[in-house]
């Protein structure tokens, strides 16, 4: 109930007025039956604008951090995410990843739309990064099509770290469904899973014109954090007379 209330009467009308979102290829989303919406991931608001522009409900697998925050902000975020039907997912890997796949399967078995970000996390620099194979495993096990979705301009409206969005127009491009029935019964083959995942990412790259990086976004984020820490460390050392004397 809260999902449809937000979409139709509260948040939805406000977003339509201020952001004037546009959509191309909405006819590629089936009117009924299960399917996976595989999207690039530029901003937190991706999970808001995509459901807003589709007639059917979309359930996203959302990182568990959104449900465990502290203080008023954490409580509001968790309440919002639960209210719109998002599912918490632990991205630590191993058993946590299996739990995420099981949660996604439940959504698909109910005949609903499941939203997934194959990159696993938001792009740190606007480029498109290597996909995780969980999306392919779900598609093969559930025997459902994968619909490529590209978010446009959401990183400008709400870049990482920005709480209040900037008023700017955003858009959505939806490609034709991808059929992986040729791989039926091969969901345990890691080479098949990688091939299917790469095919999905290729379609996202083609639709978005983003530069593709054959590296996981999480690894790139770790690199950027290390570089940032190194710069801060050098900055402190340059101002520390003890370090200057030791260097001499």
Give me the CATH number covering residue 189. Answer: 3.40.1130.10
Query: Which tens digits make up the pLDDT trace of 74-87?
Result: 787 777 777 777 88
* pTM for this predicted structure: 0.86
Contact 87, 66 (CB under 8 A): no
Question: Is residue 11 domain-shared with residue 115, that is, in the same domain?
Answer: yes
Parent domain of 193: 2-215
Question: Is residue 117 domain-shared with residue 229, that is, in the same domain?
Answer: no
Assign 246 to helix, strand or coil.
helix
Contact 129, 123 (CB under 8 A): yes
Query: Which tens digits make up the pLDDT trace of 103-158?
Result: 899 999 999 999 999 998 899 999 999 999 999 999 999 999 999 999 999 999 99
Tell me whether strands 171-174 and 146-152 are parallel, antiparallel or unpaired.
antiparallel
In this prediction, residue 227 carries a pLDDT of: 85
Question: Is residue 121 domain-shared with residue 241, that is, in the same domain?
Answer: no
Q: Give the position of tokens 């530069």.
A: 211
Question: Is residue 191 domain-shared with residue 224, that is, in the same domain?
Answer: no
Question: Is residue 113 domain-shared with residue 91, that is, in the same domain?
Answer: yes
In this prediction, residue 165 carries a pLDDT of: 87
Question: Is residue 208 domain-shared with residue 223, that is, in the same domain?
Answer: no
User: Which stretches in the chain have pLDDT values below 50?
Assistant: 241-248
H or E element, residue 129: strand 128-129
Sign of CA dihedral 109, 179, 172, 159: positive
Question: Is residue 211 domain-shared with residue 245, that is, in the same domain?
Answer: no
Question: Is residue 20 domain-shared with residue 139, that is, in the same domain?
Answer: yes
In this prediction, residue 241 carries a pLDDT of: 45
CA–CA separation, 246 and 248 (whole Å): 5
List Cα–Cα distances, 76 to 12, 23, 29, 71, 125, in angstroms.
18, 29, 31, 9, 28
Question: Is residue 222 domain-shared with residue 123, that is, in the same domain?
Answer: no
Contact 129, 27 (CB under 8 A): no
Question: Is residue 189 domain-shared with residue 84, that is, in the same domain?
Answer: yes
* Tally of domains within the chain: 2
List Cα–Cα distances, 107 to 141, 158, 243, in angstroms.
13, 28, 57
Question: Is residue 32 domain-shared with residue 104, that is, in the same domain?
Answer: yes
In this prediction, residue 246 carries a pLDDT of: 33
Question: Is residue 128 domain-shared with residue 44, that is, in the same domain?
Answer: yes
């Amino acid at each position: 109930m809260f999902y449809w209330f937000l979409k139709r009467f509260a948040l939805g009308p406000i977003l339509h007025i201020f952001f004037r979102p546009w959509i191309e290829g909405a006819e590629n989303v089936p009117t009924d039956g299960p399917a996976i919406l595989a999207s690039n991931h530029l901003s937190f608001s991706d999970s808001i604008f995509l459901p807003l522009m589709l007639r059917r409900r979309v359930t996203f697998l959302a990182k568990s951090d959104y449900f465990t925050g502290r203080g008023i902000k954490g409580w509001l975020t968790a309440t919002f995410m639960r209210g719109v039907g998002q599912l918490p997912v632990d991205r630590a890997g191993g058993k946590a990843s299996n739990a995420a796949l099981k949660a996604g399967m439940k959504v698909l078995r109910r005949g609903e739309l499941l939203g997934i970000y194959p990159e696993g996390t938001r792009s740190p620099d606007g480029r498109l990064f290597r996909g995780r194979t969980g999306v392919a495993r779900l598609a093969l096990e559930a025997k459902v099509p994968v619909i490529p979705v590209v978010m446009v301009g959401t990183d400008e409206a709400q870049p990482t770290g920005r709480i209040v969005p900037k008023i700017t127009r955003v858009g959505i491009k939806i490609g034709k469904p991808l059929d992986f029935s040729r791989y039926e019964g091969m969901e345990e083959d890691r080479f098949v899973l990688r091939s299917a995942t790469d095919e999905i990412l290729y379609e996202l790259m083609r639709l978005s014109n983003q530069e593709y990086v054959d590296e996981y976004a999480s690894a790139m984020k770790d690199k950027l954090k290390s570089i940032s820490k190194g710069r801060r460390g050098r900055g402190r050392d340059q101002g520390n007379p003890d370090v200057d004397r030791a260097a001499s």
